[in-house]
Amino acid sequence: MDDLLKLVAFEPKNRHRPYVNSAVRFHHQYTAEDRLRSALVAHWNVFQYPSEMVIGDLISDSGTTTPTIEQLSLSLLGDEAYGTNWGYPQIIEAFENAFGISSGDYEIYLFHQGRAAEHALFSELGRDKQGFVVPNNGHFDTTRANIEQNGMRAVDLPVQAVNLLPDTLDYYFQGNMDLKALDALLASDASSVPLVYETITNNTIAGQPVSIANLKAVRALCDKYGKALFFDAARFALNAWFVKRHEPGYAGKSIKEITHEAFRLCDGFTISLKKDSLGNMGGALVVKKTSPLIEAHPALLENIRNHQILTEGHPTYGGLSGREIMILVGGLKIAQDEALIGGYVGLTEKFGAYMDSLGIPVFKPFGGHAIYIDIDEFFKGTRIVREDFGGISLTALLLLSGPRLCELGAFAFGHFDSATGKEVSPPFNRVRCAIPRNKYEEQDLFFIADCIKNLHDRRDSIPRAIPVYGRDAVLRHFKARFELKQ
C-alpha cells in the first residue's frame, strides 16, 4: 500500500489550493493514509467512499447544486400538507413558464427524482408489451436500466462524429441523433417502437448538445411513422444555451424562446429536476394527453397516476417535501437566466482548457456540465487495456488526494457476458468530471486537474482494477467492489 501512497504524493502545480466552499467541514484533517483506509473499506468504489473525506466532489452534478438565497428563502414557505399543498399550483405554473406548455394539455407527474419518473413510464409501458425497442441518441445508465429491467431493449443511435472539423455545425452538436439509423429502425419494425427518446444535452456522448435542426428532423420521422417523441430533459437549459451560441438563426433569441421552440416538438419528457432546475431532489414525467403514445396505450395516463400514488404519495407532492417543491419553483424561474448559464459553462470550459494544457486527453468541444477524460488515450502506450478498467483505477487513486470523479466507460457502460466469460465493452471509455452548480471556484477545479495530471505523469505505475464482487450486477458501478493489482 505504500506504493499507492507514493503514486499520489505530489505538490500541486502552481501551488493551486482548493477553497472548498462546500458544506463539508473537515476535509483537511484527513491524511492520505486516512483516505487509503477508507478507500479499502469502500473496496475502491467511489460511490461507497465517505464524502467528508472528499476535496472536490465531481462525481455528479445531480442534486449537488448549492441553492441560491432566493431558493432558500422560498423553502421557508414550504407547505407540508399531505394533499394539494400550497406550492403545487406554483410548481405547475413554473413548468408551464419554463417549457411553454399548458397543464390543460399535459399531465404533469411529480416524482422524487428523474429515475423514478423513468421507472413509472417504462414499467407501465412494459405491462402492455414486452420486447419494445426504445431508440435514443444516447441512453444514460439509469434510463437504460429502467428500460431493460422492464423487458424492453434500449438502442443508442448517436450521430457518427468522425473527423469533424472545429467550428462546423456538426462539430458543436455531436449529441445529435443519427437520422439515417433512426429511419432504418422505424422502417424495419415501427410496431415495436412505442416512442423515440432524445436526451438533451447528451450526457452519454460527453455532454454534447442537440441542435434544433436535429430535433425537427427527428420529429418529422416520428410523424412519418406515427410515433411519439419524448425528451430526457435534465439539461434543457444548457442545450438551449449551446443552440443560441452555435446554431445559425438563434443568436438573437432568448434561452426561454429556444426552450419553448424545442419543447413544442415533443409529446412529453422525463426530467431530473436535480440538474438545470437547481434542485437537490425532484423529478417529473410530462405527457401530452393527445400524443400518439396515448392513442396506442389509452390506459397509460391513469396507470401512471396509480403508479405515482402507490410509490410516491399524493400527486400534489409526488415524493417531495413542501420545502423542496418551493426550492424547485425558484430554480425553474432562474434556470434559463443567460448570465447564470454562461458563468457555469465558462467555468467548465476554463477547467477543460486547463486540463488540456496539462496534456490530459479530454473530449472536445467541452460539454456544459462536465469534462470527460478519454481513458483509452490516458493509458495509451501502457500495459493497461480496457479489461483492466483503468478508469476505475484512476478514480480510485484520486480519492487518496481528495478528488472524487466518476468512471463512465468500460465498467459503468460495459457488461459481463456470463455465456462467454468475457467483458462486452461500450464504444467509448471515459471518466467524467461533473461540476456542481454554484459550488466550486476556478482554484478548486485547477487543484483537481493537478491531481489528475500527477497520475497521468505516473500512468505506467497505475495498477489494474479487478472486480471481486458485482461484475454481473445491474448498474454494477454503484455496487461493485475492486482490488487494485499490478
Phi/psi of residue 470, each to 5°? 85, 15
Helix (H, G, I), strand (E, B) or coil at 344: helix
All cell numbers assigned to 452: 489528475
Question: Based on the domain organization, do 259 and 365 belong to the same domain?
Answer: no
How far is residue 474 from each of residues 232, 411, 413, 471, measured CA to CA in Å?
Answer: 21, 12, 11, 9
Q: ∠ CA(287), CA(288), CA(291), 5° rounding? A: 115
> What tens-digit pLDDT sequence spans the chain (486 residues)?
778 887 877 666 555 666 555 444 455 678 889 999 999 999 999 999 999 999 999 999 999 999 999 999 999 999 999 999 999 999 999 999 999 999 999 999 999 999 999 999 999 999 887 789 999 999 998 999 999 999 999 999 999 876 666 777 889 999 999 999 999 999 999 999 999 999 999 999 999 999 999 999 999 999 999 999 999 999 999 999 999 999 999 999 999 999 999 999 999 999 999 999 999 999 999 999 999 999 999 999 999 999 999 999 999 999 999 999 999 999 999 999 999 999 999 999 999 999 999 999 999 999 999 999 999 999 999 999 999 999 999 999 999 999 999 999 999 999 998 889 898 899 999 999 999 999 999 999 999 999 999 999 999 999 999 999 998 888 899 999 999 998
Question: Based on the domain organization, do 345 and 411 belong to the same domain?
Answer: yes
Question: Based on the domain organization, do 258 and 402 belong to the same domain?
Answer: no
Q: Which of 309, 344, 308 is nearest to 442 (CA)?
A: 344
Q: Report the number of distinct structural domains present in the chain.
A: 2
DSSP string, 282-325: BEEEEEETTSHHHHH-TTHHHHHHHHHHHHH-STTTTT--HHHH
Question: Based on the domain organization, do 307 and 348 belong to the same domain?
Answer: no
Query: Measured between alpha carbons, how far is 222 from 195 in angstroms, rounded to an integer?
Result: 8
The CATH number given to whatever domain includes residue 185 is 3.40.640.10
What per-residue confidence (pLDDT) applies to 28? 61
Question: Based on the domain organization, do 272 and 161 belong to the same domain?
Answer: yes
Tens of pLDDT along 164-220?
Answer: 667 778 899 999 999 999 999 999 999 999 999 999 999 999 999 999 999 999 999
Question: Based on the domain organization, do 81 and 45 belong to the same domain?
Answer: no
Question: Based on the domain organization, do 156 and 17 belong to the same domain?
Answer: no
Tens of pLDDT along 54-95?
Answer: 999 999 999 999 999 999 999 999 999 999 999 999 999 999
Question: Based on the domain organization, do 242 and 373 belong to the same domain?
Answer: no
Examine the fold and report which residue of 311, 334, 357 is the final residue of a domain before the chain moves on.
334
Examine the fold and report which residue of 334, 362, 390 is the final residue of a domain before the chain moves on.
334
The CATH number given to whatever domain includes residue 12 is 3.90.1150.10
Question: Based on the domain organization, do 79 and 6 belong to the same domain?
Answer: no
Question: Based on the domain organization, do 273 and 134 belong to the same domain?
Answer: yes
Q: Which domain holds residue 192?
A: 69-334
Examine the fold and report which residue of 334, 369, 387 is the final residue of a domain before the chain moves on.
334
Question: Based on the domain organization, do 297 and 227 belong to the same domain?
Answer: yes
Query: Measured between alpha carbons, how far is 175 from 198 in angstroms, rounded to an integer?
Result: 9
Question: Based on the domain organization, do 38 and 95 belong to the same domain?
Answer: no
All cell numbers assigned to 66: 448549492
Q: What is the 3-state secondary structure (H, E, C) of 3-35?
A: HHHHHHCCCCHHHCCCCCCCCCCCHHHCCHHHH
Query: Measured between alpha carbons, how far is 438 from 454 in angstroms, rounded to an integer?
Result: 27
